[in-house]
């Protein structure tokens, strides 16, 4: 590499470094550290932290369930509350099992909130398909499209395309044909 090329490469790298913002991750904030510390503790302190976390996760799950409520009109109010409770419980187990992987890139409450949202969304999607049955009996196979046109439909399409080709060739001006071909 020549000296000019080496200087150019160095200048480009230096300009890229100057443009890139330097982001230092300082770790969890004080509130997040307090959450993690309380959840890793034992006894009454941990139990109280788990209870507060469950309440937070329950509110997140209820939010997601209410947001998606219109997509499940066949469910009753008790079903929605039950789904929110299950989601919050499952999210709590997931958060506690992944507590060691919390890096502090976001607030602890934000990090744990997403577990409840995900659990609620998954449970609602599963519930939407629960009780629905796909027809698998041989007589029901005729309901599924084959992907191939019937002989009659194939003949109709062939005649239609022949007529279109004649009309394009005989009825349109060269400019109109050019525009039509460009659009199609």
Whole-prediction pTM: 0.56
The owner of tokens 């330097």 is 22
Lowest mean pLDDT among 3-7, 84-88, 137-141, 167-171: 3-7
Residues, the chain, total? 184
Closest CA to 46 of 30, 28, 34, 31: 34
pLDDT digits (tens, 9 = 90+) for 86-135: 999 999 999 999 998 898 899 999 999 999 999 999 988 888 777 666 65
């Amino acid at each position: 590499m020549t000296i000019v090329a080496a200087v150019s490469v160095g200048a480009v790298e230096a300009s890229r470094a100057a443009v890139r913002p330097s982001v230092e991750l300082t770790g969890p904030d004080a509130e997040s550290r307090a959450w993690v510390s309380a959840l890793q503790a034992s006894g009454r302190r941990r139990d109280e932290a788990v209870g507060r976390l469950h309440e937070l996760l329950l509110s997140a799950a209820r939010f997601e369930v209410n947001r998606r409520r219109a997509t499940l009109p066949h469910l009753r109010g008790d079903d929605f509350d039950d789904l929110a409770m299950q989601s919050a419980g499952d999210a709590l187990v997931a958060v506690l099992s992944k507590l060691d992987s919390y890096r502090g890139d976001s607030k602890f409450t934000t990090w744990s909130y997403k577990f409840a949202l995900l659990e609620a969304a998954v449970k609602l999607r599963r519930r939407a398909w629960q009780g629905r049955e796909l027809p698998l009996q041989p007589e029901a196979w005729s309901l599924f499209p084959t992907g191939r046109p019937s002989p009659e439909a194939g003949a109709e399409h062939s005649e239609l395309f022949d007529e279109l080709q004649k009309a394009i060739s005989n009825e349109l001006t060269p400019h109109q044909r050019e525009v039509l071909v460009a659009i199609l």
